[in-house]
Amino acid sequence: MPTGRQCQPFSIGGLHRGDEDVRDMWPEALRGVRQIGPMGFLFENVRGLLRPKFADHLDWVRLSLAEPDLVQDAGEDTADQLDRLRAKEPDGTYRVSWLR
């Protein structure tokens, strides 16, 4: 039987550490989108990511995917970047939607 250490950071069966877990690959996914600049992309994750506990992180992922060139400033944490992302007028780089 798997232990919480083997489950994804957002999994119902895991430790529920989310973005505090070193295995959170969203920052790398965002970096990939920014560097490659694809015409479109599709990512899959566990349903647990949609829990209220991770609402701000999910919003950060969504807005960062929509605006991949708005990167974190030196010394800026994710919460401060999220505030900047929320305040920015969308420029239409990508339209991001979630399927449940």
Active site residue 77: no
Listing DSSP states for 41-99 in one string gives ------GGGGSGGGHHHHHHHHHHHHSTT-PPPTT--HHHHHHHHHHSPP--S------
The active-site residue out of 7, 30, 58, 85 is 7
Residues 6+ apart with CB under 8 A from 98: 50, 62
**Is the four-CA dihedral 24, 13, 17, 55 of positive or negative sign?**
positive
Catalytic residues: 7
